[in-house]
Amino acid sequence: SAGEVVYRNAWHCLKHTVETNGVASLYKGISSPLLGSIAENGLLFFAYNKCKEALGEVPGAPELSLFQLSLAGAGAGCVVPFVITPVELVKCRLQVQNAGKAAGFREYKGPIDVVVKTLKTEGVWNGLYRGNLSTLIREIPGNFCWYGVYEGVCKSMIPEGGTKADLGPSAHLLGGASAGVAYWTAFYPADTVKSYIQTNPNHAAKGFIEVFQSVYAREGLKGLYRGWGITAARAAPAHAAIFAGYEYTMKLLGPSQNSNASFTMHESVRD
C-alpha cells in the first residue's frame, strides 16, 4: 500500500526514520523496557539462582559445570517471558507506528495508551501476552547460550593455577561481547516471529509455526534472520560493558556479595 515502507537494510531504516520522524523517533518505545527491566532482572536473578540450587550448587563447594550453569540459564529462560512479553509488545507496537495506518498498524500516544487499548480490545492473554510462546522459544536457548558462552570464555582465560578472581577486564569484555552475540544467534528467528505476531494485524491470530512457515516461504532464511546483524552488533559492546562493569562492582562489594550474585544485568539492554 501507499503508506507502507519496506526497508532494504538497517541503514535504509535508520536514514528513513531520521528523515521522516527525527532523531527522537529512534528512541520510540524506550520507556517500556527501561521500566520493565526492574521486575525482569529481579525475576531472572531469583529463577537463575533457584535453578542452580536445584542442580546442586552449595556455598563453598566447587562451582557447577559449564553445562549445568547453562542449564540453569535455560531454566531461568522458562520463567522470564511472563514478565518481558508485555514489555516487548508495548515497545514493538510503538516502534512500528512509522508504517502508518495504511499498512494496518494502530497508532498510540505512548506506552500507557498501548496497554489501555490492548487490554480493551484484545484482553490480557490474547493481547498483552500475545507472542509469549515465541518469547519462550527465544529465551530458553538464548539464556542457555548466554550464560554458557560467558562462563566458557572466562574459564578458558583463567591463568594456569589461578581462579576466576584472577581475570581482568579484558576477559570480562570478551566474554560479555561473545555472550551477547551468542544469545541473539541462538534462535533469532523466534524474535522475528514474535515481532510479526505482536505488531502485524495480518498475523495476530496465527500461531508460531504458521508465522514461521509463512515468513520462510516468502523470504527464506534471510527473512527469518532479518535484522540479526545490527542486533548482534549492538549486543556485543553493550553486553561487554555490562559484564565488565558488573564484575568490577562485585569486586568492590566483596567476595560475600560476589558469591551470591548472578549474571542477570544484561536483560535491560538486551532487547
Q: Which single residue is written with the C-alpha cell 544469545?
A: 183
Per-residue pLDDT in tens (0 to 9) along the chain, 271 residues: 444 555 666 666 777 677 777 776 666 656 655 666 667 767 877 898 899 999 999 888 888 999 999 999 999 999 999 989 999 999 888 878 765 555 556 778 888 999 999 999 999 999 999 999 999 999 999 999 998 999 999 999 999 888 888 899 999 999 999 999 999 999 999 999 999 999 988 898 899 999 999 999 999 999 999 999 999 999 999 889 878 887 887 788 765 555 444 444 444 445 5
Q: What is the pLDDT of residue 33?
A: 59
Sign, CA torsion 80/83/86/91: negative
Sign, CA torsion 160/161/162/163: positive
Could you report the per-residue pLDDT of 123-140, keeping only the tens digit for each? Answer: 999 999 999 999 999 999
Q: Say if pTM beats, i.e. exceeds, 0.85.
A: no
**CB-based contact 181:235 (threshold 8 Å):** yes
* DSSP letter (8 states) at residue 62: P
